[in-house]
Structure 1
């Protein structure tokens, strides 16, 4: 059984790798696709016949080129300043001075608001949109899972609280009946009180952490009264009605105190963590043992 669980966990881990790779693929592929697409758009759009004049005018206005002297190079020629410059055609300028060309072409695309410019970004936006959607899907699933777990834990806590409260009431009821009978008859049947005590003790053993609370619950379970029948005699002498009444009264006092202690166990977990920090992991009152 343990090996099957281990191999299942391994399969889940292996299956998780391709899923993670699919989520990360847009991160690595998206920028490269977007850059290549935009570069192609610049070449196609800005060097198209109907836009070449606009490209030359934009380059002149931005100042990265000058008009060539005279008519050298034709109407589409530009002069690049500097030692590595000279008179070049627009195609030569776009190839040799790619940075200036991209700057001017981007300005031209932005000024024109041309659909090709927008379409160049759509590839990147699509990748980004897919990634955003994947992250939102994962985040939504995580929030749903957390909500379900929180509701399940709350439901379990409410169920435990109801069961524990019911067990306390039942033990108290049966204990009081036994004590009333004991006051009249020292040999009163103790079996039903013992069964109710064991039922309550079993529920106290299941009280969850934090550790201070579970430890307090175990101590309380050990100290529940009526683990044994109350004595009918002491030191070889039968107990009289007044003495039996005193014995029963002491048990009733313990029952009242421990009922309050069970209520302490139902308090929220953070309060018990605070008690641990303060060095006090005990219930409000110790709850005496009257066996």
Structure 2
């Protein structure tokens, strides 16, 4: 059995589903939630937890994006297209969240041996491959040049990216997070981010190398499978797949103790966001 597979096999998997109920919450709520779950799962107070979430039109910037020379113009453009803009506390660059994008966070306790960073990524890649195995399309994990937020664990089919994976580590907890473009146009989302970078950079030399976005290297799963997939369809696939890995799978919510922790973590991400975006 692979180490990644081993990581997915948990005696208990608690599922906190915010794929429908959390749509109109500010996306900072999700980053506060994942930090809360890292702390509580990491301390052993809660079992391994899977959280699913969807947010209305939001662009999530990475810290590097906030160093763009004409950032305000880029943000004004995104707002003119009816997107909220926030800055996340984990690595990576700008990504698009909307009602056709399902986010999944898997929160594991970091055992004494520790969870190697690639093992966390591999676990997520493995579960996604299994969820869509009936389509008989090869899902690769490698960097897709020209995509937004490129990384070595971009998930793609035939060279077109539909998902990106990131990780957040906090207090002996590891959150492996993925965004999955389920439906809508991958190219249009990429175009939006491409315009943001053009306006925020205006061709100036920057210390950090920002991606040159090529919209045709990105697609949604509905486009790639030539099938009308919804977030609900993919939620069902996810729960069925995770159920095979769990001694017990159950729907849950934050405990009273976690709700108290959440207040502090949410305050922290909100405060930090205001500081970084200068408002």
More helix by share: 1
- The TM-score, its normalising length taken from structure 1, stands at 0.21
Name the larger-Rg structure: 1
- The TM-score, its normalising length taken from structure 2, stands at 0.22
More strand by share: 2
